[in-house]
Amino acid sequence: MASPADTFRRFRPLPVGIVVLTYCLILLGAITRLMGAGLSCPDWPLCNGKLIPTFEGGVIYEWLHRLVAGTVSMLFMGMLVWIFVNPTLRKRLWKLALLAVAVLGVQITLGALTVTKLLKPLVVTMHLGTGTLLFSTLICIAGATVLAAKDAPAAPRQPKGLKPLALLTLVGVYGQILLGGLVASNYASWACPDFPTCHGMWFPPLTGFIGLHMIHRYGAYAVTLIALALFVVGRKAEGPRMRLGISVVFALVCAQIALGIANVLMKIPVPLAAAHNGLAEAILATLVALNFALWHRGAAAASDTASAREEALKA
């Protein structure tokens, strides 16, 4: 009979592969929007009335986005069946699996509304936000699988303040992704053509598209400071992988700031804008993995200890 660790090792490639495909899906969605191809398929689920349309203009981007989305959905359904059929997987993953189902249902609905509502900024931003939540949930499923496959021990004690700082950084980055979605879908990226000022003003009025653009900038400054605090506290973290992960987060945040500045100064070229989107999701993915390692393993250790005590009392 296979051990629990063996079961999770066999299962591991599926959630990890779905995470990679979901990242590609989010990046492809950003490229589709940047290329102005979001309405190149005005109907849903078909594209111009066809399953495989004529690839003219931006149709290829939207069609590929839908194709990858469909592939992710089918793999996801296969993963769900595997989780709920296998008792070992079900015991560890059922809560995360149900959460992912709920988020995916909302995401599919928003995907259809994005087309039928003609790319309204709020719907587009909600679609991005829900997609990012689904991505995060899938990372947690993959993380739980990887830890179970390794039969990893409980996480060591970490410096005071590290866990709240890691969580605050994650919330800040997610908020920035939503703000960035609002800026992009409202075409407010061009509202401030200079940096560090906006139309020569250090503190322009926070109204209209200029206000939206500047709030995104101020949010970036705040997240950078929080990430710096996380980096400073994280230097005392236990475990080389934890310290490396925290250092990677800070390095990626700095690179993201540089990309944001370059986008403004270079008038939002598509490759740089796509890289800005992709890097934001990479930062979020790293933070989700860090937070999962910090919070989930501690909770799992407490649960295992409680279970062991119950077994001892029964004996």
- Cα-based distances in Å from 195 to 158, 175, 212, 269: 39, 22, 15, 16
DSSP characters over 225-259 = HHHHHHHHHHTT-SSHHHHHHHHHHHHHHHHHHHH
Q: What percent of the chain has pLDDT over 90?
A: 60
Whether 3 and 143 have beta carbons less than 8 Å apart is answered as no
C-alpha–C-alpha distance, residues 245 and 143, integer Å: 14
The whole-chain average pLDDT of the chain stands at 87
Residue 313 is encoded by which pair of tokens?
């009392």
pLDDT band at residue 152 using 50, 70 and 90 as cut-offs: low
- The more confident residue out of 263 and 152 is 263
C-alpha–C-alpha distance, residues 192 and 194, integer Å: 6
Q: State the pLDDT at residue 303.
A: 45
C-alpha–C-alpha distance, residues 271 and 206, integer Å: 29
Q: State the pLDDT at residue 118.
A: 64
Whether 22 and 134 have beta carbons less than 8 Å apart is answered as yes
Q: Which residues contact 151 (CB under 8 A, 6 or more apart)?
A: 4, 5
pLDDT in tens, 1-41: 678 889 999 999 999 999 999 999 989 988 888 887 777 77
pLDDT band at residue 300 using 50, 70 and 90 as cut-offs: very low
**pTM for the complete prediction?**
0.87
- The more confident residue out of 137 and 61 is 137
Q: What is the mean pLDDT of residues 86-109?
A: 92
pLDDT in tens, 196-253: 999 999 999 999 999 999 999 999 999 999 999 999 999 888 888 899 999 999 999 9
Q: State the pLDDT at residue 58.
A: 81
C-alpha–C-alpha distance, residues 199 and 156, integer Å: 50
Q: State the pLDDT at residue 81.
A: 96
- Cβ neighbours around 45 below 10 Å, total: 12
Domain 156-315 has CATH 1.10.10: no
* For residue 77, pLDDT beyond 60: yes
- The more confident residue out of 167 and 304 is 167
Q: State the pLDDT at residue 46.
A: 78
C-alpha–C-alpha distance, residues 198 and 21, integer Å: 37
Domain ranges of the chain: 1-152, 156-315
Whether 209 and 188 have beta carbons less than 8 Å apart is answered as yes
pLDDT band at residue 107 using 50, 70 and 90 as cut-offs: confident
C-alpha–C-alpha distance, residues 189 and 261, integer Å: 11
Residue 42 is encoded by which pair of tokens?
């005005």
Q: State the pLDDT at residue 301.
A: 44
Secondary structure (3-state) at 27: helix
Angle at 223 between CA 274 and CA 294, to 5 degrees: 100
Q: State the pLDDT at residue 59.
A: 86
Angle at 147 between CA 135 and CA 251, to 5 degrees: 55
C-alpha–C-alpha distance, residues 203 and 192, integer Å: 12
C-alpha–C-alpha distance, residues 209 and 220, integer Å: 17
* For residue 139, pLDDT beyond 60: yes
Q: State the pLDDT at residue 302.
A: 44
